[in-house]
């Protein structure tokens, strides 16, 4: 369904807006779909009035009506999802009425089988994962094709794979859960958690759920819901307020991905989780308390870039074109997350890093120079493990699901020696059957603590 929407939207936008580039079409298609889905979730959860989206298809220019709805949502939520200061494309495009009508009607009965009011956000991430890494290509004749133009490291691994929930839960429990246990909300506010290849955001969503659950229990057991002056934290029904959910999200969770679509999906998933349990009344109350809007802007928390390559990569390259720079998309960790590195780094790194690698010569030379635990045969997951040790604070926790080759391959002796001598390996859970659909690689969960002050570069 999502791929179909992308194709129809892209075809209409391309035909009616001849000056838009492929990148601009990809951007505006993704933004439009994300915004529609967010508002549809809000409708079924009684945050927006019933069938408000359907109403935009009743008369006039449907896309113009939809855009006006988006503008109202920007004032109400102020989440970054509806930020038209950074989005200077959506306001000027034309889209055929029938395309908008078909997409919106697909989200309502009888054409939709989903109950968005009770549908877990995790299922949305699963659906989105199907097309992450794919891009829209438009020919000069406005023929649209959805290409599987995946990131090189994902291409070799055979595709993008959604991490099963039980894997996410185990890793989150043994990293985030372990670190926050027994701590107060004030202490937890200083804990920084990152997924350096966040994909659709399943690990960050799992960490957010763990944090919400812990804070709810903490306040409830201490009767905060009965104390009037504490009602900005938890309401009388025992649910965290929007203010508190917003604070936790901005304080604790961070992510990076090279795919801009993945970044947007991660932000969407986290925002939808923050809206769970809210009503039109609770949102109205929040707006009266905070004129800045209900939800946080996550642009500083979830960022787009190449986690493995720093900007110094360009120092050794001559005549590097703008297109090539965009493909590399070097990422400066310190500049992106200054508040995190002022305290020394992240406390937790979690995720399912890409496996395999199809690196160009310049990238291989860079890795040989900068990464000290690698042999000449690179695999991107080795690089992600080393990078994670580098951005962790001393005593920080790492939880990944990775192939088991690091334990068996003779060419991984450097990283194996370091992990056994400079970290405390807390747990290894090996799976003898494939965890990922259509993937035959043997994988395992590794939980370790960075007991050394390992830091080579950023």
Please report where in the chains the tokens 């990078």 appear, as a residue.
Answer: 387
Could you tell me the CATH number of the domain that includes residue 310? 3.40.50.150
Q: For all residues of the chain together, what is the average pLDDT? A: 86
**Residue 455 falls inside a structural domain:** no
**What does the pLDDT read at residue 126?**
67
**Per-residue pLDDT at 246 exceeds 60:** yes
Quickly count: other Cβ atoms within 10 Å of residue 120's Cβ: 14
Report, as an integer, the average pLDDT of 214-229.
Answer: 89
Closest CA to 198 of 188, 190, 189, 208: 208
- The string of pLDDT tens digits covering residues 122-151 is 777 666 766 666 777 777 776 767 665 544
pLDDT tens track for 389-399 = 999 999 999 99
- Residue 182, sorted as left (phi over 0), alpha (psi -120 to 50) or beta, turns out to be left
The answer on 332 and 183 residing in a single domain is: yes
Q: Domain check: are 175 and 143 in the same one?
A: no
**Residue 99 and residue 168 in one domain:** no
Return the pLDDT at 183: 97
Residue 395 is predicted with a pLDDT of 93
Whether 274 and 340 map to the same domain: the answer is: yes
Give me the mean pLDDT over the 18-46 stretch: 89
Residues 6+ apart with CB under 8 A from 268: 34, 37, 38, 81, 124
**Mean pLDDT value across residues 370-383:** 83
Q: pLDDT tens digit string along 438-455?
A: 566 788 999 999 987 666
Average pLDDT over residues 409-437: 83
Name the domain boundary from 149, 175, 206.
149
- Percent of the chain at pLDDT > 70 equals 87
pLDDT score recorded for residue 425: 93
Same domain as 165, residue 92: no
Per-residue confidence (pLDDT) for residue 267, from 0 to 100: 93
Give mean pLDDT, residues 96-115: 89
The C-alpha atoms of residue 204 and residue 163 are separated, in whole angstroms, by: 12
Q: What is the pLDDT of residue 291?
A: 60
Q: Does residue 231 belong to any structural domain of this protein?
A: yes
Same domain, 273 and 163: yes
265 Cβ partners below 8 Å, 6+ apart? 34, 125, 128, 132, 199, 200, 201
> Of 124, 149, 174, which closes a domain?
149
Bridge-based pairing of strands 253-257 and 302-304 is parallel
Q: 261: pLDDT confidence band, cut at 50, 70 and 90? A: confident
* pLDDT value of position 428: 92
Tell whether 458 is covered by a domain. no
Structure tokens that stand for 302 in this block? 């979830």
**How far is Cα of residue 457 from the mean position of the Cα atoms in its chain?**
25
**pLDDT, position 458:** 63
Cis bond before residue 453 (omega within 30° of 0):
no
Confidence (pLDDT) at 303 = 97
Q: What is the mean pLDDT of residues 347-376?
A: 87
Quickly state the pLDDT bin for 235 (edges 50, 70, 90). confident
Contact between residue 96 and residue 16 where contact means Cβ atoms under 8 Å apart? yes
Q: What is the mean pLDDT of residues 294-315?
A: 91
Q: With respect to residue 394, please indicate whether it lies within any of the assigned structural domains.
A: yes
pLDDT tier, 23 (very low <50, low <70, confident <90, very high otherwise): confident
Mean pLDDT throughout 207-225?
Answer: 95
Question: Which of 93, 128, 149 marks a domain boundary?
Answer: 149
pLDDT at position 456 over 70 = no
Question: Are 334 and 233 found together in one domain?
Answer: yes
Does 411 or 373 have the greater pLDDT score?
373
Q: Collapse the DSSP code of 234 into the 3-class scheme (helix H, G, I; strand E, B; otherwise coil) and give the result.
A: strand
Between CA 37 and CA 363 the distance in angstroms is: 38
Judgement on whether residues 79 and 190 belong to the same structural domain of the protein? no
Residue range 173-201: average pLDDT?
Answer: 96
* Least confident window among 24-33, 156-165, 191-200: 156-165
Task: Report the number of distinct structural domains present in the chain.
Answer: 2
Are both 163 and 83 inside the same structural domain?
no
This prediction's pTM: 0.89
Q: Are residues 400 and 421 in the same domain?
A: yes
| Max mean pLDDT range (138-152, 203-217, 253-267) | 203-217
pLDDT score of 159 more than 60? no
**Residue that wins the pLDDT comparison between 281 and 102:** 102
435 pLDDT band, cuts 50/70/90, is confident
Question: What was the pLDDT predicted at 177?
Answer: 98
Domain that holds residue 57: 2-149
**Percent above pLDDT 90 for the chain:** 45
CB 19 within 8 A of CB 2: no
Mean predicted confidence (pLDDT) in 171-187: 97
pLDDT at 131: 62
Per-residue pLDDT at 230 exceeds 70: no
Residue-level pLDDT at 103: 94
Residue 222 has pLDDT above 70, yes or no: yes
Residues 106 and 214 in one domain: no
Separation between Cα atoms, residue 65 and residue 101, nearest integer Å: 11
Query: Are both 122 and 206 inside the same structural domain?
Result: no
**Any domain includes 456:** no
pLDDT one-digit tens code per residue, 65-89: 999 999 999 888 877 888 888 898 9
């Amino acid at each position: 369904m999502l791929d179909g929407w992308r194709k129809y939207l892209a075809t209409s936008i391309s035909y009616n807006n001849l000056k838009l580039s492929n990148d601009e079409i990809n951007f505006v298609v993704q933004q439009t779909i994300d915004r529609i889905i967010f508002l549809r979730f809000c409708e079924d959860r009684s945050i927006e009035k019933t069938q408000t989206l359907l109403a935009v298809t009743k008369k006039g220019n449907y896309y113009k009506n939809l855009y006006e709805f988006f503008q109202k949502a920007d004032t109400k939520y102020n989440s970054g999802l509806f930020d038209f200061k950074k989005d200077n494309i959506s306001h000027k495009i034309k889209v055929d009425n029938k395309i908008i009508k078909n997409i919106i009607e697909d989200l309502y009965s009888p054409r939709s089988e989903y109950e968005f009011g009770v549908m877990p956000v995790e299922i949305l991430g699963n659906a989105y994962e199907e097309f992450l890494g794919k891009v829209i290509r438009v020919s000069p004749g406005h023929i649209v094709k959805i290409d599987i133009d995946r990131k090189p490291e994902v291409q070799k691994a055979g595709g993008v794979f959604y991490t099963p929930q039980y894997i996410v839960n185990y890793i989150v429990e043994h990293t985030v859960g372990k670190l926050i246990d027994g701590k107060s909300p004030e202490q937890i506010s200083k804990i920084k958690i990152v997924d350096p290849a966040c994909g659709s955001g399943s690990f960050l969503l799992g960490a957010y759920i763990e944090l919400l659950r812990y804070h709810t229990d903490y306040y409830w057991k201490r009767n905060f819901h009965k104390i009037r002056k504490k009602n900005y934290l938890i309401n009388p029904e025992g649910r965290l307020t929007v203010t508190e959910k917003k604070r936790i999200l901005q304080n604790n969770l961070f992510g990076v991905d090279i795919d801009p679509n993945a970044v947007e999906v991660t932000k969407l998933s986290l925002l939808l989780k923050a809206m769970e349990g809210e009503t039109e009344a609770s949102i109205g109350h929040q707006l009266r308390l905070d004129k800045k809007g209900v939800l946080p802007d996550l642009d500083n928390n979830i960022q787009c870039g190449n986690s493995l390559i720093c900007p110094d990569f360009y120092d050794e390259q001559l005549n590097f074109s703008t297109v090539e720079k965009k493909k590399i998309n070097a990422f400066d960790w310190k500049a992106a997350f200054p508040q995190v590195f002022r305290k020394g780094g992240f406390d937790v790194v979690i995720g399912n890093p890409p496996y395999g690698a199809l690196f160009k010569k310049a990238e291989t030379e860079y890795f040989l120079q900068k990464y000290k635990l690698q042999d000449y045969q690179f695999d991107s997951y080795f690089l992600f493990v080393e990078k994670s040790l580098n951005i962790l604070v001393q005593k920080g926790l790492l939880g990944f699901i990775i192939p088991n080759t690091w334990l068996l391959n003779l060419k991984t002796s450097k990283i194996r020696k370091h992990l056994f001598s400079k970290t405390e390996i807390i747990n290894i859970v090996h799976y003898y059957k494939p965890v990922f659909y259509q993937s035959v690689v043997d994988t395992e969960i590794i939980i370790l603590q960075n007991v050394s002050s390992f830091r080579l570069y950023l």
